[in-house]
Structures are given as structure tokens and as C-alpha cells.
Amino acid sequence: MKPIKIFAPAMLGAAALVLSACGGPAATPSGSAAPGGSSAAPTGGASTPAETPAATSSGWDINEQPRESLAQGGTLRLSVTEMMTNWNGAHVNGNQKDNTDMQAPLSPTYFTFDSGGKPVKNENFLVDFTDEMEGESQVITIKMNEKAVWGDGEPITADDWIATVNALNGKDPAFEAASTEGWKDLKSVEKGANDYEVKFTFTKTYPDWTAIISGGPMRAEAVADANTFNTGWTTLKNEWLSGPYKVESLTADLLTLVPNDKWWGEAPLLDKVTFKAIAADAVASAFANQEIDFLDVGPDPDGYARASATPNTVMRKAAGPNFRHFTFNSEAENLKDVKVRQAIVMGLDREVIAKSDLAGVDWEPKPLNNNIFLPSQPEYVDLGKETGIDYNVEGAKKLLDEAGWTEGADGIREKDGAKLNVKFAALTGVKASENEALQAQNMLKEIGVNLEIVATPVADFTGGNLLEPGNFDITAFSWIGTPYPLRGIDQIYGGSPDNWGSNFARLSNPELNELIPQIAVEPDVAKRNEMGQQAAKLIWESVHTLPLYQRPELVATNGKLANYGAFGLGSANWVNVGFQS
């Protein structure tokens, strides 16, 4: 991530398409997906950059229109859950989907992603690149657009890339980076022939190199030292940003963007883009009242019904690598035993949970039995079926028997005089989370687990007071994925007690820890996929997290909005977002 975190296994992971410097997955409390995420993700992890965008396909549903046919002007009104207290998207507490969404029109973008999730060179920032091997090292050399400048007109140079790498490569633990994935694999980064050429040398091979370069560098002065990186981003500073838009104003609940007068590329079509902070349970009403132009409906049947009935509205749909899940805190007293965690999995009918979450929504959910690959990908293996760790009430009871938990007079299991009580942190106002808690509570009674629902403010989730300190036994949220199915597995599933990072389950698996770095550097697609399947099985058997279902990317938009909608694995080209006349 981190309610909307940006970390998660490459797959599903957690970002929607996260084009921030940290380049990982993201987490969201409500399950709303960031632009990006599709079941058509490139397999094998490595994604070869494309020189030109792919032809229009069903990978996204964005009302794709040529910019020449669109009106000049207008205001696009969007929403977020809340404004940020740390605007550094590469920081562990700034690595959230809301932050990514708000900064997308403001940030360097070296690669965009087409409808199939293919990286496409953005010549506003990146003129050319080469990919070569020097011995065992992979070397990427980029040539930057010399016209590209920061918000105060200062040029973007190799020094910015060098400072970014130094902040994110993990060599200085004082930098509280959300992820060091990819950055830590760099042997060196140095200026090339001039200030606008940068040479990245990896220790070995790094198949997903476009992922870390796609979001561009951070300004050198913005990451000059750990204190600035960690605490210096309390406000959005135009001089630290670079994109077709800039910040006009920022209040406690409204961010307003206007065209950037320092922008050197094609002029953006819109006069303004606004992001209003609206509580999760009030967004559907805001859309129905036509206060905003875009609603990520996700698994909200009420929102779907209200949006569908709103005048001048179009419903758009795409599949993405975004999924609801339960995270198990393996350090919680009654969840330390893997047999207890497995029994809980076997006591949950996730198909019922999914259908309950999505009742009234145009999407047919199925239980997701893999943490790395999606059912629509050829590498997918149904690990519930393969391992037997799937819905099976009698099997769950047997496991609890084996773990020494015997049924008490009240039906709740006991061991050494203690009840099998487990706390579920349900996010207040997030319907999916509240529903999942109630569904799980009723189901787990049957196997003798007392699931206590703890109402938890969304602010605890977004503010780092829930996941990071481990103030939960089980909680539910959505991971937002990226176009890189095998990237960043360590971000959520790796780590150690010294630095759990985004491993909110606080669970370390030695076999997995040994496998992850091999996956990161394996250039052979088939071998890499096979190792990914091994990793997925280890994650499933240890019950690190339990996927519930692949969530739909269902969005409602103003009927005239063009080049923005359900992106799948793609990403927005912000200069082309506008309205039809």
C-alpha cells in the first residue's frame, strides 16, 4: 500500500495502475479500483514497451474519442475518500489510491499503459531508451525530453533520478519507503552523456524494469534526505510536480487543478479537475445529485442502482486485477496457529459472501483461489481445490480438533481455559467491509469461532493506525493490482519482523522468502510463471491473506465524459480527457 495501498503482489496486488514513484499495488478500504487493473494482464510478468498505443480493444471502457472531436474547456469533478496528510506517494503512509488518483495529472509519466496493459513510451518525458546486457547486468539507458520541467520551470535531469533511486533503494532505512521493489535491484544509476541521459544498471536481470521507470523521478530536493522524504510532503508543492495540470488550490476537502502554464506538450482539454473529499457511504448520493462526474461503483448495489437511474449517465465495465480479501494478523493470539487460520478459511463460504457483496450489481462473482494469478490468466491454478483448503465445514472442525480447540457448552471452542475469540476490524461506512464481517461472523459460529466485530473508522485505515501497527485480528479491504503479475510479491508477502513493510499479516515464510528474489530476476517467462505458481501455493497454504473474489471495475460517468472510465489495465492520458459537445 494504506487504505488504498499501493503494494500487493504484482498481480492483484494492491494499484490499480499505480504510476507513482513507488510503482507497486495499492489497497483501498471500499474496494474502489484506481484506473488500471484488468484480467488481460500480460502473463509472465515482463511487459515489453510498445512504441505506439495498441488498437482499441475490450480491455477498457472509456468512451475513447479523438481529442479533435472534444470540446475545449469544462470541469471534471471527481471524488476521493479524504485529503492526504502525507502527499509523498512513495512513502509508506502516502502510498494510497486516493493520492495516486489526485497526483496522476500532476506527475511525470514516462510510460502510460494501453488497453491491454502494455507500457507505451510517453514522449513528453521519455524520448528514447535502450535495453542491453553488460555481462550479467541488465542496463537500461533512457534519454529524457529536454523540454520537460518541474512546476517552477527547472529542468528534470539525471540528478532527480539519482536522488529518487537513493531514496527508494533501501540502502538507507531512514527513508520510510512504501516499497523498494526494483529499486533495491539497481547496482547503480548515473548520468549518461549529458544531464538528460540516465543509465540504470541492475545487479542481474529485472524483467519488470518499466514498472519503476514508468512513474518518472521525484524532484531531487523533495527526497534529498530522509526527513524531507518522510515529513516534508505535508502540502502539495507545484515546484515538486510536473504534468499537464498544476495545483490551483487545496483545502481540507477540495483539491482544484488547472492547466500547467509550464507544460510543454499538447494542451489539456479541461479548464479544471477537482477532487472532493466525500465519505465512502456518501459518494453514490453525490453522483446521483450530479455533484461529481464519476463514480467507482465497485461492489455497491445501492450505488449501482442509484447511478443507473441518474440522468445523463453511462455505466462502464472492465475486469481488473483487483480483489477483495481478508488479511489475517498472524501475531494475533488466536491466529498464530496455521491450522486455526486454515480452519477459518474452510469455515467461510466465499461464494455466498461475494454474491452478498455484489447483490444487485451487474457482475457474476466467483471465489478467488489464488493470491498471484487471476482465473482469466492461463497461469491460474485453483489452489482451494488443489490443497483442500477451501470451504468445508466438517474439515474446518477437524482441523480445530487437531489444534486442541474443543467445543464448549455455548458452542464456542476452548483451549487451556480460553475461548476461540477473533476480532474483525470492520471499516465503518464501508458497506463491503461491514457486510463481510457480518457474513463471516455467522458462518464461523458453525465451526465454533466467536468473531467479534470491531467498528473501525476509515481514518484509522488511511491514517496508518490499523494495518501498520497490527491493531486487528482480521480485516477486509481491496488490493488494487498492476499490469505486472509477478512483480512486488515481497511487498505484501515478504519482509521480516525488523521491517514488515506492507506485509500486514506479519507472516514470514522462509521458502517463500527464498523464492521471491528468484522470481524477480528470472527472464524466462515459463520458468518465472512456474515459480509464481509455487509462491502462490505457499501463500495459500500459510493463509497469509484470503482472497474473496475478483472485484468488478464498474464505474458510472457523466454521459459526455470521454477518454476516462473503466480502464482495466490501462491508464489515462490526461491531456485527452474531456467532454463531448
Angstrom distance (rounded) from CA 108 to CA 525: 30
Which range is least confidently modeled, 272-286, 303-317, 352-366, 442-456?
352-366
pLDDT value of residue 376 = 64
E strand map for 280-377:
294-296, 313-328
In this structure, the chain runs to a length of 581
Q: How confident is the model at residue 378 (pLDDT cuts 50, 70, 90)?
A: confident
Q: Give the closest residue to 165 by CA, choosing from 131, 142, 135, 194.
A: 142
Sequence-separated contacts (24+) of 51-57 with Cβ below 8 Å: 51/120, 51/121, 52/120, 53/112, 53/114, 53/120, 54/114, 54/115, 54/116, 54/118, 56/115, 57/115, 57/116
For the cut 60, the answer to whether the pLDDT of residue 274 exceeds it is yes
DSSP code per residue over 378-392: TT---HHHHHS-SS-
The CA-CA-CA angle for residues 569, 25, 470, to 5°, reads 150
Q: Is 249 exposed, middle or buried (0-12, 13-18, 19+ CB in 10 A)?
A: exposed
Angstrom distance (rounded) from CA 288 to CA 295: 9
Average pLDDT over residues 442-458: 97
For residue 501 the three cell numbers come to 513493510
| Highest mean pLDDT pick, 3-7, 19-23, 122-126 | 122-126
Angstrom distance (rounded) from CA 382 to CA 373: 10
Does residue 238 sit in helix, strand or coil?
helix
For residue 510 the three cell numbers come to 522462509
Which range is least confidently modeled, 104-113, 384-393, 507-516, 548-557?
548-557
Cell 510478468, located at residue: 45
563: left (phi over 0), alpha (psi -120 to 50) or beta: left
pLDDT value of residue 49 = 55
For the cut 80, the answer to whether the pLDDT of residue 107 exceeds it is yes
- For 536-577, how does the pLDDT look when each residue is reduced to its tens digit (9 = 90+)? 999 999 999 999 998 778 899 999 999 999 998 789 999 999
For the cut 50, the answer to whether the pLDDT of residue 10 exceeds it is no
CA distances from 198 to 191, 193, 195, 213, 277 (A): 5, 8, 8, 11, 38
The residue with greater pLDDT, 580 or 362, is 580
Angstrom distance (rounded) from CA 95 to CA 7: 8
For residue 244 the three cell numbers come to 499537464
Angstrom distance (rounded) from CA 378 to CA 102: 34
pLDDT value of residue 217 = 98
pLDDT value of residue 11 = 27
User: The whole model's pTM is what?
Assistant: 0.72
For residue 417 the three cell numbers come to 481455559
Angstrom distance (rounded) from CA 181 to CA 490: 8
Q: How confident is the model at residue 299 (pLDDT cuts 50, 70, 90)?
A: low
E strand map for 236-312:
245-250, 254-259, 272-277, 294-296
Residue 344 burial (CB count, 10 A):
27
Angstrom distance (rounded) from CA 475 to CA 219: 36
For the cut 80, the answer to whether the pLDDT of residue 34 exceeds it is no
Helix (H) or strand (E) holding 356: helix 350-357
Q: Phi and psi for 71 in degrees, rounded to 5?
A: -75, 150
Angstrom distance (rounded) from CA 356 to CA 358: 5
Q: Give the closest residue to 88 by CA, choosing from 225, 212, 245, 233.
A: 233
Q: Give the closest residue to 188 by CA, choosing from 146, 223, 139.
A: 139
Residue 252 burial (CB count, 10 A):
7
Residue 445 burial (CB count, 10 A):
14
Instruction: Report the DSSP beta bridge partners of residue 554.
Output: 317
Interhelix angle 350-357/431-445, rounded to 10 degrees, is 150
pLDDT value of residue 35 = 23
Amino acid letter, 406: T
Q: Phi and psi for 495 in degrees, rounded to 5?
A: 85, 180
Helix (H) or strand (E) holding 166: helix 158-168
The domains of the chain, with CATH numbers, are 319-552 (3.10.105.10)
Helix (H) or strand (E) holding 431: helix 431-445
| DSSP summary character for residue 267 | P
Angstrom distance (rounded) from CA 198 to CA 114: 25
Bridge-based pairing of strands 421-427 and 474-480 is parallel
Residue 394 burial (CB count, 10 A):
9
- For 229-259, how does the pLDDT look when each residue is reduced to its tens digit (9 = 90+)? 999 999 999 999 999 999 999 999 999 999 9
Contact 471, 465 (CB under 8 A): yes
Angstrom distance (rounded) from CA 482 to CA 25: 6
- For 167-224, how does the pLDDT look when each residue is reduced to its tens digit (9 = 90+)? 999 999 999 999 888 899 999 999 999 999 999 999 999 999 999 999 999 999 999 9
Q: Phi and psi for 88 in degrees, rounded to 5?
A: -80, 105
